[in-house]
Amino acid sequence: MSQAPGGAGGQHDRILDEAAKLFIRFGYHGISMRQIAEAVGISKAGLYHHFADKQSLFLAILLRNIERVGDLVDEARAQGGSTREVVARLVNALLVGMVGGQRFIRLAEQDASSLDPDARDTVRSVYRQRFIDPISAVLQGGVTRGELRGVEPETATWLLLGLTLAGLSTPPERASAMATEIVRLFFEGVGAR
Amino acid sequence: MSQAPGGAGGQHDRILDEAAKLFIRFGYHGISMRQIAEAVGISKAGLYHHFADKQSLFLAILLRNIERVGDLVDEARAQGGSTREVVARLVNALLVGMVGGQRFIRLAEQDASSLDPDARDTVRSVYRQRFIDPISAVLQGGVTRGELRGVEPETATWLLLGLTLAGLSTPPERASAMATEIVRLFFEGVGAR
DNA sequence: CCTACCGATCGGTAGG
DNA sequence: CCTACCGATCGGTAGG
């Protein structure tokens, strides 16, 4: 039996951890509550003791992971430095710091269609508030201080995340080098000087 | 006999078109053969007359769409010009030319896990051969001719595709502007000059 | 004997 | 948190 990473300990968190792995690998519809229960080592009914239904479990996973990457953004910002330094810390944290290539962002985008409209709005709102907006603010600050050319901050944020997502498929041992390459491409491009 | 909207003619192609839309929207496990049959306007048994099983249908869709984007790459290369001009035509074709934001690339990556190992290898091989390798060759040529700095062509290809995928979520009327922004970021970055 | 299906139902499994 | 189940729907197939 493995313990919950981060020392949380409870079954609740253990379920979130195991279910997150499976959802990330197979998608919302690709995994059943039975399989999740089996992975956790409890019965399916036991699972329903902790979460009202499949969607509630999925939603809890999405929100928890958004909080986690939101914390990564906060930490990257808090340490200060140039726009490029902040972005470099953030990309590195997303690529290296997320254990085992947690591609939950892709999951959140792809399987948002599996949620009902209310839940989807909640996810979108928190995602924007804790992830997109803070990164946009960093880039906006870079434009204001003349460190970046006049890009639209939100567009630039999406493109930076596109680069980072593409980089997530790199093997863990090359994650750091990939982060460096992403940051360089984002700021300098690939054109010859 | 049957009136096929949209060109090719046969029921076979009509099924591929309708099923592709649904798979792209809901994922492999998110849509049933019943729903696909209903969308096409035939019975589920009729569907099984054309495709042996769900996986065969899915595989046929993936391969057909890989061929299509492969053709887009070929066309972009055939017209010649600088590396940047070729890349600009390609990104534009992927963003604007693919009707209604066909995000099949994301589908191919995400739901590859729904295929058995043989089918997955086939997809990966054709994807690489018709899509990744030709783009890498374009970028490699750019490095050789000194139009690009010394990047690893395959890494740069993945990052370019990451940017393009991120741009796919843009509304159709802004697709052209997004393509321009992606190409500029890819070649020049966002750093101030 | 072919094609392009149909209504009905198979054995299993989904979320609850 | 379990055993024991449900209504419905799953992917796939029967005879005609």
pLDDT per residue as tens digits for the range B37-65? 988 989 899 999 999 999 999 999 999 88
State whether residue B48 sits within 8 Å of chain A by CB: no
Q: What is the mean pLDDT of residues A40-64?
A: 90
Chain B residues 119-178, Cβ below 7 A from strand C? none
Please report, for residues A168, B4, B32, B35, B52, the alpha-carbon distance to residue B43 in angstroms, rounded to integers and kept in the order given: 41, 17, 12, 10, 15
Cα distances (angstroms) measured from residue A64 to each of A69, A104, B59, B87, B105: 9, 10, 34, 38, 27
pLDDT of residue B2: 37
- pLDDT at res. B147: 96
Determine the pLDDT at residue A88: 97
Q: Which range among A62-66, A106-110, B87-91 shows the weakest confidence by mean pLDDT?
A: A106-110
pLDDT score, position A107: 74
CA distance A20 to A40: 11
Residues ≥6 apart with Cβ < 8 Å to B71: none
Q: Give the CA distances from residue A94 to residues A21, B127, B134, B158, in Å, rounded to whole numbers and listed in that order.
A: 17, 27, 29, 17
Q: For residues B131 and A161, what is the distance between their CA atoms, to the nearest angstrom? A: 22
Q: What pLDDT sits at residue B1?
A: 37
Q: What is the mean pLDDT of residues B59-77?
A: 92
The reply to whether residue A110 touches residue B110, judged by beta carbons under 8 angstroms, is yes
Strand C–CB B42 distance below 7 A: yes
Comparing alpha-carbon positions, the chain A residue that sits nearest to B107 is: A110
Q: What is the DSSP string of B144-189?
A: HTTSB-S--HHHHHHHHHHHHHHHTTS-GGGHHHHHHHHHHHHHH-
Length B119 CA → C3 C1' (Å): 29
State residue A115's pLDDT score: 85
- Tell me the C-alpha distance between A87 and A160, whole Å: 9
Tell me the pLDDT tens digit for each residue of B119-149: 889 999 999 999 999 999 999 999 999 999 9
Confidence band for A73, pLDDT divided at 50, 70 and 90: very high
Q: For B166, which residue in chain A has the nearest alpha carbon?
A: A162
Count of pairs with CB atoms under 8 A, one residue in A, one in B: 137
On average, the pLDDT of chain A sits at 87
Residue B3 is predicted with a pLDDT of 37
Cβ–Cβ contact B100 with A under 8 A: no
Q: Is the pLDDT of residue A27 over 70?
A: yes
Which bases of strand D sit closer than 7 A to a protein CB?
1-4, 9-15
CA A132 to C1' D11 (Å) is: 40
CB contact under 8 A, B84 and A191: yes
Nearest protein residue, CA measured to C1' of C4? B46
Residue B5: pLDDT above 60? no
CA neighbours closer than 13 Å in the CB half-sphere of residue B85? 7
pLDDT number for residue B9: 55
Residue at shortest CA–C1' distance from D14: B45
Nucleic strand D within 7 A of Cβ B52 = yes
B35 is near strand D: CB distance < 7 Å: yes
What pLDDT is attached to residue A102? 59
Q: Is the pLDDT higher at B3 or at B14?
A: B14
**DSSP assignment letter at A4:** P
- Which of A32-36, A156-160, B20-24, B40-44 has the highest average model confidence (pLDDT)? A156-160
Hey, which residues 120-139 in chain B have their CB within 8 Å of chain A? Answer: 139
Smallest CA–C1' separation from B46, nucleotide? C5
Q: In whole angstroms, give the CA distance from residue A156 to residue A147.
A: 14
A189 to chain B, closest Cα gap in Å: 4
Q: Other CB atoms closer than 10 Å to residue A49's CB: what's the count?
A: 12
pLDDT at A4: 36
Q: In the predicted model, is pLDDT for residue A148 greater than 90?
A: yes
Q: Tell me if A30 and B29 make a contact (CB, 8 A cut-off).
A: yes
Q: What is the pLDDT of residues A95-145, one digit of tens each?
A: 987 755 456 777 777 777 788 888 889 999 999 999 999 999 999 999 999
Residue in A84, A165, A189 nearest the CB of B187: A189
Query: How much is the pLDDT for A2?
Result: 38
| pLDDT exceeds 80 at position A18 | yes
pLDDT in the model for residue A1: 37
What is the pLDDT confidence band of residue B151, given thresholds at 50, 70 and 90? Answer: very high
- Interchain CB contact of A146 with B (< 8 Å): yes
Is the Cβ atom of A144 within 7 Å of strand C at any atom?
Answer: no
Please report the pLDDT score of residue B102 as a whole number.
59
Of B158, B182, B191, which is closest to A187 when you measure between CB atoms?
Answer: B191
Q: Does B169 touch chain A (CB under 8 A)?
A: yes
Residue A150 near chain B (CB below 8 Å): no
User: Cβ contact (<8 Å) for B188 and A192?
Assistant: no
